[in-house]
């Protein structure tokens, strides 16, 4: 299969909200872990249903984030979303050669993810 598309019906989490530092420790927040685990889960389910195989070739990713408020930034949510799909959709997020990102305002918050396989280099 050359294309994969799915929705994650959960509020996207930015890199800024994903990590905390305290008492000489650095950790991922529960909110961040819940979001990245949800992305992995929905990616796995969609891959099985749609016949997508883990690829080592370049991919194009389109991310459409849906926020409940227009004041939320979209850029910080890209990295956690791409990182969460490593080992499920593609081997490593370095394979993402084109990344289209947009945001909409509405409820419920979430993200629509579409991946297209590109020709091998």
Q: Show the tokens assigned to 114.
A: 């579409």
- The CATH classification number of 3-117 equals 3.30.1330.70
Residue extents of the structural domains in the chain: 3-117
Q: What pTM does this model have?
A: 0.90
As a whole number of angstroms, the distance between CA 68 and CA 118 comes to 33
**Contact indicator for 114, 105 with CB cutoff of 8 Å:** no
Q: How confident is the model at residue 119, as a pLDDT?
A: 76
Distances (CA, A) of 95 to 11, 55, 66: 25, 9, 25
Q: Pick the more confident residue, 29 or 77.
A: 77
The mean pLDDT of 19-35, rounded to a whole number, is 77
Q: Is 30 helix (H, G, I), strand (E, B) or coil?
A: helix
């Amino acid at each position: 299969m050359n294309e994969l598309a799915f929705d994650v019906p959960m509020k996207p989490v930015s890199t800024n909200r994903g990590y905390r530092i305290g008492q000489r420790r650095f950790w991922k927040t529960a909110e961040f872990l819940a979001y990245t685990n949800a992305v992995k889960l929905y990616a796995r389910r969609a891959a099985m249903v749609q016949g997508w195989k883990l690829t080592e070739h370049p991919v194009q990713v389109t991310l459409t984030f849906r926020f409940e408020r227009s004041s939320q930034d979209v850029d910080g949510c890209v990295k956690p979303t791409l990182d969460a799909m490593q080992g499920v959709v593609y081997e490593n997020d370095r394979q993402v050669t084109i990344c289209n990102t947009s945001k909409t305002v509405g409820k419920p918050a979430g993200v629509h993810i579409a991946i297209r396989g590109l020709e091998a280099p």
